[in-house]
Amino acid sequence: MTEKPKVRVRFAPSPTGYLHIGNLRSALFSYLYARHTQGSFILRIEDTDRARLVEDAVDYVKENLLWLGLNWDEGIEKGGEHGPYVQSERLNLYAEHAEALVEQGKAYRDYTSSQRLEGLRQHAQKAKQPFKFTKDMAQLEPDHKDDPFVIRFEIKPGPNVIWNDAVWGEQTWKRKVLDDFVALKSDGFPTYNFAVVVDDHLMEISHVLRGQEFLSTTPKNILVYEAFDWQIPQFVHLPPVLGPDKSKLSKRHGAKSALEYRDAGYLSEAVFNYLASLGFNDGTTQEIYTPAELAKVFNLGRIQASPAIFDPDRLDWMNGVHIRQMTTKQLLVRSAEFWPPEAKKFDEAYRLKVLELIKERLKYFAEIPELTSFFFTDPKLNIKPDSQPMLLKVVNKLEDSDFSEKDLENRLRALVAAEDLKTGQVFGIIRLAVTGKTAAPGLFETLHVLGKETSLRRLRHAAGA
């Protein structure tokens, strides 16, 4: 029995800016498919666009992936670090393969100057025709010995380019609309359409998962595969991720990089879960998954062709669910850097009680200072004078309380009944006096955690006593 080829996928970002949600989703789907099939997930940096390189972008890419838990399996060993493959370190490979195609008559050296090339483009534009470069337009011999040249891949006459995409089904592209594209630039760097094929072949990539915007490059990629007589991988073009208004996703829709979510106090496993839901479902109504559960159920056949809609509110909800699935002790450890400075003066037991109170309302850790500050610092108050007599009665009612939640509730409800007042009105005054807020966790629970001494001191202060 023939052994089934091992699945090998890659994530190959260009270090030209921050990783947006669409890129991260492509990385996540590749990672999940590798884990689902016990295959390999490879990281490759495609840095051949030298004009748009961003300093430290490679480190930024790696940090994003590692925070999400997308650990790559293969790369180059550098000083003990398992680094990614980097295209700028592989230039000799692209040059060798480009020259091989020239020798076989499948590519050619083009000495056309940039000025003449621009003139040809303008001529096509004036004639209102698409610009398509062909070999008969090229300058095949140099004017001078050291004239620069590019190597162009020649699109020879032939049948339509046809392939089956895992998401979009059978695709057909007319060969006659394709131009002779540059494979190797005059500076020795390859273009995307050439380098991606050479690398994917040499790295034995079996499945190419990438954004839908790369569909139009696939015919050229396939022709390069065929020119070398190489095995063509399975193409999986993922639908775009759009904003709530169905326009191209951007930061104005609330989309951030993975590290921005980390810095706002989102759980990596929640962001992982949410990204996986953008264009994939396993056919059930389940929404909350661990990374391991997602790897188990992920398959290419369940990727949806329709665009995914990014919803910040749903991400917040999902992060909140993941928060509430953790123990309070786990949350205290995970949220340590987000607590207000004043919290450090209080012991862990007290902070655990505080966290238990806000856990149900917490969407992400950056909210902790706003939700908890009054537990550590006396609030600034704006109590109306006509509320102060009632607060004095509250103080008198609670002075001999044991400050258990049950006793607090019994005493305060009895006071409201005796005064023939509305519960919401009285409780609202008490809440404002002890927290400085009109909205806070349950009143009895809050008073209990604050403790008798702090609660009565704040109540007396608010009452003007």
How many angstroms separate the CA atoms of 286 and 255, rounded? 24
Buried b (16+ CB within 10 A) or exposed e, 37-66: bebbbbbbbbbbeeeeeeeebbebbbbbbe
How many angstroms separate the CA atoms of 382 and 462, rounded? 8
Record the tokens describing residue 288, joined without a space. 């909350």
Q: In which residue are the tokens 């509305």 written?
A: 422
Q: Residue 26 in contact with residue 238, Cβ under 8 Å?
A: yes
Q: Which amino acid is at 206?
A: S
In the annotation, is 251 catalytic? yes
Closest by Cα among 5, 22, 1, 4 to 13: 22
The catalytic residue among 156, 251, 329, 344 is: 251
Backbone angles phi and psi of 303, in degrees to 5: -75, 130
How many angstroms separate the CA atoms of 453 and 279, rounded? 54
Secondary structure (3-state) at 20? coil
Q: Residue 383 in contact with residue 462, Cβ under 8 Å?
A: yes
Q: Which residues are catalytic?
A: 251
